[in-house]
Amino acid sequence: MEKGNYTLTLIKPYAVQHGFVGPILARINGAGFRISAMKYLQLSLEQSQAFYQVHRGKPFYERLCKFMASGPIVAAILEKPGAVDDYRRLIGATDPKQADEGTLRKLFGRSIESNAVHGSDSDDNAERESNFFFSLLERF
């Protein structure tokens, strides 16, 4: 898998609990991404804090980490040329209220904290975040 051609997504606890995994994955497929790795898991608080370490110290950090460890999530590596930017367009703005119509966060998000999905914000973070969730043996 070549850097620049993949991104990491998380379907967050609220979206999982409300039955949005299927509809979200269908839209990801429809937008032309190939799922090259996927798992269903629940993070511990420590793992959640480690994943979001770049946000440590921000006012929302503790609540975000607790929320992300509150229930099962889906983690997946999505492959497509220009994946990071294309996926960010598909998911829309961080705050569902600001997100464009038809974006995943508009369709399935509840609030800025519980915004349905995460998507890597750079190729470097896509690499770091993919390595956090998946070993080479788990990528196809």
Smallest separation (angstroms) from ligand CMP to the CB of 115: 5
The closest of 39, 61, 70 to 139, measured between CA atoms, is 39
Among residues 62, 94, 125, 128, the one that binds ligand CMP under rule CB under 6 A: 94
Distances (CA, A) of 139 to 23, 32, 38, 68, 92: 23, 18, 8, 23, 26
- Residue 90 has phi, psi (to 5 degrees) of -65, -35
Does the active-site annotation cover 18? Answer: no
Least Å from the CB of residue 137 to ligand CMP: 26
Shortest distance, CB of residue 5 to ligand CMP, whole angstroms?
A: 20
When the beta carbons of 2 and 84 are compared against ligand CMP, the nearer one is 84
Site for ligand CMP in 58-77 (CB under 6 A): 60, 64
Q: Is the dihedral of CA 9, 13, 14, 18 positive or negative?
A: positive
- C-alpha 107/C-alpha 109 separation (Å) is 6
Stretch 101-140 residues interacting with ligand CMP (CB under 6 A): 112-113, 115, 118
43, 68 Cβ separation under 8 angstroms: yes
Residues at the site binding ligand CMP, with contacts judged by CB under 6 A: 55, 60, 64, 94, 112-113, 115, 118
Active site residues: 118
